[in-house]
Amino acid sequence: MKNFNFIAPTKILFGKNKVNELGNEIKQHGTRVLFAYGTGSIKKTGLYDKVVEQLTQAGIEYFELDGIKPNPDISSVREGIKICRENNVDFVLAVGGGSVIDCSKAVAAGVPYAGDAWDFLMRKAAVKNPLPVGTILTLAATGSEMNGNSVISNKETGEKRAFGDDSLRPKFSILDPVNTFTVNKWQTAAGTVDIISHIFEQYFTPDKGTFVQDAIAEGIVNTCVKYGPVALEEPENYEARANLMWSSSLALNGLTGTGKIFGDWATHDIEHELSAYNDLTHGAGLAILFPVWLEYVLDEIRAIKIARMSRSCFGVTDDDDMQAAKNGIKAIRNFFTSLGMPATLTEVNITAENFDHMAESACRFGPLGMFKKLGPQQVKDILNMAL
């Protein structure tokens, strides 16, 4: 187990009608709020009205940033920063899924920064004294509600990049599983794959002696395997939605990565290239890529860990590690497919056209991955295998 520091101070307010505590929570941090949300689904579900009621009752002045899209663009970030500066905003409230939260964090980081916010993504600037952020989560997937990470796209340059800092961890996150009842099958499935992928990225590393972290990780994956299908069939099953929602936060708040290197993250990096170039749901991209990546990196050493996950969470019983790993990868693929996720890039109309550029771009800061290092050629191999 490696040395580590761990701090996950986000206050979680979990359960039915927890939005009723919003006003009191915000008042502990600010009085002039940027209210950030997506393309309007919160207006249909009535959540928008509840938020406005809470803000009004608490005497909080608010300014809206709406229209934040999936794979949020740097242009939304810039717009949010402008609104904050013009109105002396001192708190950012994100109401939505990972895209809205990620955009809000970038806004929060950008307001006190003199340069352009894209600098954070290009590793040209460090986050310093960001505005405090709070969230109301409406999609169980990214884990952004309990960590300091943010993924932002740049349409102009065709890039999708991540940055993060502990100071960007939300002060509070309101997790009401009822707010995910209206999430459709596709997004529910993609969210479930996303949660599992976050565990995988931190689980499949060369680290030794991290038994407790890995055991917790397996518990979270088992939760997704159990409840993903239930949420698809019964979208208003509170138990399923609640277990997936709490899993999403715990899968990427740093807990299962303690005592390890930062994680592998090659698959995420490759997926970011895919969804930067194509209109592809992040979780769907991961569903296509992860089994391919596992197959690609599988060898005698890496089989041990893949076999452990396969036996613990995917019903594999083979004693031989290599055989267990192979059967596990098949079982993982089958599970993703059973959720309605695609298995190949061809299914989502992605061709090899931009693979060269994607592979180069993915590796622009150096080789990807920790479980196994991947250069541009290996990334291209994986993309080709995924066709």
Binding site for a second copy (CB under 8 A): 1-16, 18, 177, 208-213, 215-216, 218-220, 222-223, 226-227, 238-239, 242-243, 246-247, 250, 255, 258-259
| Distance, C-alpha 127 to centroid of its chain | 20
Q: Which is nearer to a second copy, 18 or 380 (CB)?
A: 18
The strand pairing partners of 159, in sequence order, are 154
Q: Which is nearer to a second copy, 148 or 376 (CB)?
A: 148
Token pair 């013009």: residue: 86
Quote the least distance from Cβ 17 to a second copy, whole Å. 8
Q: Which is nearer to a second copy, 195 or 266 (CB)?
A: 195
List, edge to edge, every strand of the sheet that includes 133-137.
Answer: 61-65, 32-37, 91-96, 133-137, 172-175
- In the numeric block, which tokens belong to residue 58? 């608490």
Quote the least distance from Cβ 242 to a second copy, whole Å. 4
Q: Which is nearer to a second copy, 9 or 40 (CB)?
A: 9
Q: How far is CA 209 from CA 2, 206, 214, 258, 260, in A?
A: 9, 10, 9, 11, 9
Query: How far, in Å, CA of 195 to CA of 192, rounded?
Result: 5
Quote the least distance from Cβ 93 to a second copy, whole Å. 18
Q: Which is nearer to a second copy, 242 or 359 (CB)?
A: 242
- In the numeric block, which tokens belong to residue 1? 């187990």
DSSP assigned state of 19:
G
The DSSP line for 285-354 is HHHHHHHHHHHHH-SHHHHHHHHHHHHHHS----SSHHHHHHHHHHHHHHHHHHTT--SSTGGGT--STT
Q: Which is nearer to a second copy, 76 or 248 (CB)?
A: 248
Quote the least distance from Cβ 221 to a second copy, whole Å. 9
